[in-house]
């Protein structure tokens, strides 16, 4: 078996972390969960992440700074998926403008999390 895919989840919501960790375990994805953009960028520097999942529901950072930091921190940029409540249209639009590979509502993210973890990380 090859090297497992490496992903990081940026979220301070323990329920989100728990749900994504379950999907990651089922998909044989090595998942790091962090609460800050700085931590995600640092992990990418050392682990060369395949995928970064960003919870936009309570950001304490600017998504554009996270995306720029990830793209400049490693040999290759990870795929970046941002998700948040559909009513947070400005945050979702900011994630699209920042260059995230996929931006979806929270509901869509959780209905597709298995596919996202396995499909986008490759």
DSSP 8-state class, residue 77: P
Domains and CATH numbers, the chain: 5-120 (3.40.50.2300)
pLDDT tens profile 64-104:
999 999 988 867 889 999 999 988 899 999 999 999 999 99
Joined together, the tokens standing for residue 29 give: 């994805």
Q: Say how far apart CA 116 and CA 75 lie, in whole Å.
A: 22
**What's the pTM?**
0.92
Average pLDDT over residues 8-23: 95
Percent residues over pLDDT 90 in the chain = 72
Provide the 10 A C-beta neighbour count for residue 115: 11
Question: Which residues are within 8 A (CB) of 18 and not within 5 positions of it... i.e. 6 or more apart?
Answer: none
Helix (H) or strand (E) holding 40: helix 37-47
């Amino acid at each position: 078996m090859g090297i497992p895919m490496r992903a990081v989840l940026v979220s301070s919501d323990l329920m989100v972390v728990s749900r994504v960790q379950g999907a990651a375990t089922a998909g044989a994805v090595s998942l790091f969960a962090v609460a800050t953009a700085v931590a995600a960028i640092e992990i990418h520097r050392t682990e060369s992440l395949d995928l970064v999942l960003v919870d936009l529901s309570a950001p304490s950072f600017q998504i554009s700074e996270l995306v720029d930091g990830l793209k400049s921190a490693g040999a290759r940029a990870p795929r970046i998926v941002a998700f948040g409540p559909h009513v947070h249209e400005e945050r979702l639009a900011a994630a699209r403008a920042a260059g995230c590979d996929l931006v979806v509502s929270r509901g869509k993210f959780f209905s597709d999390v298995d596919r996202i973890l396995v499909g986008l990380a490759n």
